[in-house]
Structure 1
Amino acid sequence: MSKCYTLAIIACILSIAAQAQITKGSVLLGGSISFENTNEEQRLGINETRYFSIAPQVGIAIKDNLVAGVSFGYGGYRNTVSDARQTLDAFDAGVFLRRYLELGKSFYLFGEAALAYSGSRQNSDEHSANNTVIKTRGGELSLTPGVAYAINRKLHLEGAINSVASVGFNRQTRTADTGTGIMFNQKDRFTAATNVSAQSPLSLGIHLFFAR
């Protein structure tokens, strides 16, 4: 499913700008959407996978070249093979602050700091008496740098290195019904990471702004 999320991140983020400089009062409206539906015949039966995600974003330039906003996201995954089924529902909500620095004609560097809360529920039901539910809740502070090129006064092409640095905390609970009893465990995890390698997750986007 990580590949699906990568495709969703690469999807275009829409907004509109009246001029090259992002002026105070400009409004950013954007987001991404992704879906997948596959059917594959296997020895155990038909393997059916469905995936959908949507992530809207709204921001406003509080100063020239400085945008603050909020973002939301939801992703759903369903996989069924014979009588076994796996589902995952995930969401996130957060705030971001993005600073643009003009390098010269049509080029910008930018840095985005984001604080987000996320949660997910994963359900694995292999047999009628065997069910496992995994719930995760947590928050993350991340930094994403990138470069933008203004193709024209309204259209920006952008490349970014997602979450080049981040810190976060999450709590995961696992409840399993084995048919002979209920098993429960809980795990807390704190993370601090940097992501600056050849395998860093790159994203591309097309951006537009509504200028005041």
Structure 2
Amino acid sequence: MKKSILLIFAIVFYFGANAQIHVGGSVGFSSSNSKSTTDGTTVEGPSNTNISLMPDVEYMLAENFSIGGQIGFSFNKTKDDANDTETSLFMFRIAPYARMYFPLSENIEFFGEGGVGFARGTDKVTVGNTTNDGNTYTDFSLGVTPGLRYAISEKLKLELRAGYLGYMFSSVNNNGDPETVEKYNEFGLNINLSTVALGIKYTL
């Protein structure tokens, strides 16, 4: 028993002493709007803007394997000028992960990232000049994200994530009276602008 415990400590110490540490983060952005034209008259439809900022710390436990985590936020705003309404949602996000790298060339690597994500936030709804709390959103995800890493130099690297395959759960609490909660479950492949994130890493 003592030998097993000592072996575990030796392995943890070995990996900790030899691990490279990468610090950085990723940024995501998407924007959309709509227009409708009737008899030559054009009316602006709702517009939507989505921003995410996720600081990232990654530990290289082996040449092609790492563990890490992101802690950050996302912000979404939907504006409808025709109805004088605006909805904004700020969500706190945390996402630990494990990653495997597959070299494609001297400077480019493909990676598969398996991880868990959690997010929560309450939106603000503005009608005219009045703002109130709206729904509370909770998201949970478990899946795989593909990406590419490009080495600008020995210490500086660019990363691109795109797409998501896995399980996603979300709930919406309307905070009303009576209080109601809607729950959604989804499993599958998701590829859109909201899944694209550009990041940068620096090796300490």
Distance 1:58-1:106 versus aligned 2 partners, 3 A rule: same
Larger Rg: 2
Aligned pairs for 1:61-210 within 5 A: 61-76=60-75, 86-126=87-127, 131=132, 133-163=134-164, 165-176=165-176, 182-195=177-190, 201-210=195-204
Shift of residue 109 of structure 1? 1.7
Gaps of 5+ in 2: 1-16, 30-47
| Cα distance change of structure 1 residues 129 and 147 upon mapping to structure 2, 3 Å threshold | closer
Matched residue count: 168
Shift of 1:53: 5.2
Residues in 2 aligned to 1:32 and 1:204: alpha-carbon distance in whole angstroms? 5
TM-fit CA distance, 1:89: 2.0
CA offset digits 1:24-59 (Å, max 9, x no partner)? 510011124689xxxxxxxxxxxxx99975421112
1:108–1:147 contact (8 Å) kept in structure 2: yes
Q: Which residue of 1 aligns with 2:55?
A: 56
CA deviations on 1:164-201 (whole Å, 9 max, x unpaired) are x020212211134xxxxx4532111111121368x794
Q: Name the TM-score, length of structure 1 as normaliser.
A: 0.63
Which amino acid is 1:207 matched to? K
1:192 is matched by which residue type in structure 2?
A: F
Partner residue, 1:40: none
Using CA pairs under 8 Å that are at least 6 residues apart, name the structure with larger relative contact order, 1 or 2: 1
Q: Runs of 5+ in structure 1 lacking a partner?
A: 1-22, 36-48, 177-181
Question: What root-mean-square deviation, in Å, do the aligned CA atoms of Structure 1 and Structure 2 show?
Answer: 3.7
Which residue is equivalent to 2:12?
none
- For the residues of structure 2 that align with 1:51 and 1:84, how far apart are their CA atoms? 17
Letter in 1 for 2:62: K
Q: 1:175 to 1:130 in 2, by over 3 A?
A: farther
The 2-side partners of 1:79 and 1:69 are apart by: 32
